[in-house]
Amino acid sequence: MNSSERVSEIVPERVSERVSEIVPERIAVRDNVALMPGYHSPQLDVAVRLNTNESPAPPPEGWAEALVGVLAGIDWHRYPDRAARELRVAVAEHEGVAPEQVFAANGSNEALQCLMLAFGGPGRLALAFEPTYALHSHISVLAATEVMSGERRDDFSLDPDYAAAMVSRHRPAVTFLCSPNNPTGMVEPQSLLERLLADVAALPGLLLVDEAYGQFASRTAVRLVDESRPLVVARTYSKTWSMAAARLGYLVAPSWVVAELEKVALPYHLDAFKQAAGRLALAYEREMKDRMAVLVAERERIAAGLDQLPVRHWASEANFILFRPCSADGEAVWAGLAARSVLVRNCSSWPRLAGCLRVTVGAPAENDAFLSALSEVLI
Ligand SMILES: Cc1ncc(COP(=O)(O)O)c(C=O)c1O
């Protein structure tokens, strides 16, 4: 057998062709999985990548150097601390809660998946208000939870009376909010959070506030978390901490919620290196805040640039801006930007977001490249 024949042996399409010759019938996937489109975030090989809301800057050098020291000290032959105790103590101190009120996971997405495995499931319902972060519905479906989609107003704000009525009518086990909301960048008013929290408590249910971009915003729901309220706040190291590659996120929640999440998380799901990386990062809070201040200033500079162009855009408190070209077709504008080596998120075919694009705030030179490419495309 020559090497190309050997490679062809493991090419998946060939394997599946052969298997289908042998096996007449295949087991069908679960019904709700069969209906899922899957999660897609297309990537292109471009010079300026402003499509996934990552930080344009790496974590501080001091953090990376300290991490190298940690690497050598890890007992690689042993399982990691299953309770991630030191990480949780550090996160708890950072957030001003008790360690028993912190649940860490491989990205906030995995934390949300654990939440839905524990509190969603067959016969239970999750409520989300669209447009919002697609993974809230996606993860709920994965956990065999029925999803009810509520609507936002045309300006993407949420009508409090309508939201409260949806909660009392559908009695969701979990109600999702995202603040700042992805993809609009808008922060939910404190009065709405407090009202929904009271309504959800009466059911009883849980209110999940996804604060993946929380540190960019003027308000946080973390201060409302206590043992008596059914409030869970999700946060991540992926955005403000510049650690998307680490896959680390956490929930701040009453300890009675965290205790249930620990039952559904796979044993030792958080590796030792990641636990150390997350704990160490918190020592660089000042550097994180400095990076964020730069991004917030850049966000406002992009917004001012968009004001000069024929686009509508929405006031954002995150590290991205949603915008809609006034007369041009969103798809064509996205393609025009990509042709100029600038990749933004194409939301133009998403429900309720016709014609919209979302740009992540990048480094100053990347933002310049975006603004000049956009003006070339539009003018
Ligand atoms: C609103 C929101 N929540 C959660 C996440 C996922 O974060 P993580 O990387 O921690 O899984 C994202 C990622 O883009 C997001 O936009």
Residue where one domain finishes, among candidates 283, 315, 335: 283
Q: Which residue has the higher pLDDT, 357 or 24?
A: 357
Residues 202 and 341 in one domain: no
**AA letter at 293:** A
Residues 349 and 206 in one domain: no
Residues 100 and 67 in one domain: yes
CA angle 88, 89, 94 (to 5 degrees): 95
pLDDT for position 39 = 66
CA angle 234, 236, 239 (to 5 degrees): 135
pLDDT digits (tens, 9 = 90+) for 147-173: 999 999 999 999 999 999 999 999 999
pLDDT digits (tens, 9 = 90+) for 356-371: 999 999 999 999 999 9
Centre of ligand 1 from the C-alpha of residue 27, in Å: 32
Protein residue whose Cα sits closest to atom 12 of ligand 1: 212
pLDDT value at 45 more than 70: yes
Burial (Cβ within 10 Å: 0-12, 13-18, ≥19) of residue 66: middle
Taking alpha carbons only, the member of 272, 282, 274, 235 closest to residue 60 is 282
53: domain CATH number is 3.90.1150.10
Phi–psi pair at 113, nearest 5 degrees: -65, -40
pLDDT for position 8 = 39
pLDDT for position 364 = 98
Taking alpha carbons only, the member of 374, 310, 305 closest to residue 336 is 374
CB 269 within 8 A of CB 106: yes
Centre of ligand 1 from the C-alpha of residue 59, in Å: 18
pLDDT for position 43 = 79
Q: Which two tokens stand for residue 357?
A: 């694009």
- Which residues does residue 126 pair with via DSSP β-bridges, in sequence order? 147, 174
Q: pTM (2 decimals)?
A: 0.92
Residues 261 and 304 in one domain: no
**AA letter at 196:** L
Residues 94 and 111 in one domain: yes
Evaluate whether residue 5 is within a structural domain: no
Range of the domain at 146: 61-283
Q: Residue 238 CA: which ligand 1 atom is closest?
A: 9
Q: What is the mean pLDDT of the chain?
A: 93
90: domain CATH number is 3.40.640.10
Evaluate whether residue 358 is within a structural domain: yes
Least confident of 102-106, 199-203, 334-338, 347-351: 347-351
Ligand 1: residues with CB < 6 A are 53, 107-109, 133, 178, 182, 210, 212, 236, 238, 244, 249
- Three-class SS state of 30: coil
pLDDT for position 36 = 78
pLDDT-based confidence at 21, cuts 50/70/90?
A: low
Beta-carbon-side half-sphere exposure of residue 119 (alpha carbons within 13 Å)? 27
Evaluate whether residue 28 is within a structural domain: no
pLDDT value at 16 more than 80: no
Mean pLDDT of 249-264: 98
Which one of 53, 108, 251 would you pick to mutate in the ligand 1 pocket, going by the greatest count of ligand atoms within 8 A of its CB?
108
Percent helix, strand, coil in the chain, to 5, is 45, 15, 40
Taking alpha carbons only, the member of 27, 320, 376, 370 closest to residue 185 is 320
Distance CA 59, CA 76 (A): 24
pLDDT value at 107 more than 80: yes
- Three-class SS state of 18: helix
pLDDT for position 19 = 55
Residue where one domain finishes, among candidates 283, 302, 332: 283
pLDDT digits (tens, 9 = 90+) for 215-254: 999 999 999 999 999 999 999 999 999 999 999 999 999 9
pLDDT value at 28 more than 80: yes
Residues 237 and 145 in one domain: yes
pLDDT for position 37 = 73
Q: Which two tokens stand for residue 97?
A: 């809660």
pLDDT digits (tens, 9 = 90+) for 312-322: 999 999 999 99
Residues 196 and 274 in one domain: yes
Residue where one domain finishes, among candidates 254, 283, 312: 283
pLDDT digits (tens, 9 = 90+) for 47-104: 999 999 999 999 999 999 999 999 999 999 999 999 999 999 999 999 999 999 999 9
CB 222 within 8 A of CB 247: no
Evaluate whether residue 73 is within a structural domain: yes
Distance CA 238, CA 228 (A): 29
Distance CA 104, CA 76 (A): 20
pLDDT value at 296 more than 80: yes
Distance CA 238, CA 322 (A): 20
Evaluate whether residue 100 is within a structural domain: yes
pLDDT-based confidence at 44, cuts 50/70/90?
A: confident
Element containing residue 112 per DSSP (H, E): helix 107-119
Distance CA 296, CA 302 (A): 10
Evaluate whether residue 23 is within a structural domain: no
